[in-house]
Structure 1
């Protein structure tokens, strides 16, 4: 899952960036509100974490403009614990959730999982497709009653397929979703991960649509 983080506090931003990376997210972090505002138009994000107390441009103004421009990505706003009015305005402007500083990374991760699942029409904390199950809380994958050992990136790619079962995903989409802008990625990296997933889950689990991409299941 690819996350856009806009937070000007270096200590908080670095903590979120590193912490979410450990959970398997790819994070694009901007401390400048203007750059962060432009980033949403340049990449496809699964969720946005937006600090409201930004210098130069107010976080609420960024949120209002995003929603006015038609961006539907789920947004979690970060506010001071006593900023009740800000939280209310943020929700009224289109935020999906909020967190008060300071907060635990475990809670941020749980809230991200919830709003991302909601975006894809999922309510359960488990994603299941034809005997393959991903527990979103502990990132454990099972096939039948057997635990399957996957790397972090393999789990991330499998999660994308499970959230988009029976939908075609291009190589470019997969690559964009699992890597941040500052990652150095070779052209066949996604193909290698797909090969590994097939080896561990079965050759017929993920199908190749030549010239278009990959699909879990059958295209509708």
Structure 2
């Protein structure tokens, strides 16, 4: 993943940095709020594994993709394969340290609905384990997985961050760094508000 400069997310990064490992952290918020950018910035500092939960991929294809990434990361022999999600998470939790991130975690509810429950079991039963960060942009689905009583991961998160729009100061600093000031910057803010996605378009 490319290194991306973050604006207005110092507080969230600081909260993540202060967590003692192993930790379980949840980051959620509307689309285009740059949850992935925050996640990337933190992983650039700590290192770790990043998995995107692609809802358009068949479960076995996604499992194979994840298994290959884990195998390479852990230096496992080429013949090591993961036939089930249980096998994958068993090997993942054997890492005993580091950070593992699942971006758009809520799509497991459609792609592989057993995964949140496997993660719940692993988190509850393993003494040594990696830190886990999960993100999601479908807020209702994330709450059903994490925040509601009876949800697979209810009460287990050490940190829950609801990522919101940028404050005006962060937006104007971003635009200033792009050489956009004064009335032009104000017009862009009136148009796009604090949604980072649109300023990323201006940037490119």
Q: TM-score range with shorter-chain normalisation?
A: 0.3 to 0.5
Normalised TM-score (structure 2): 0.32
The structure whose residues are more often helix, as a share, is 2
- Bigger relative CO (Cα 8 Å, ≥ 6 apart): 2
* Greater strand proportion: 1
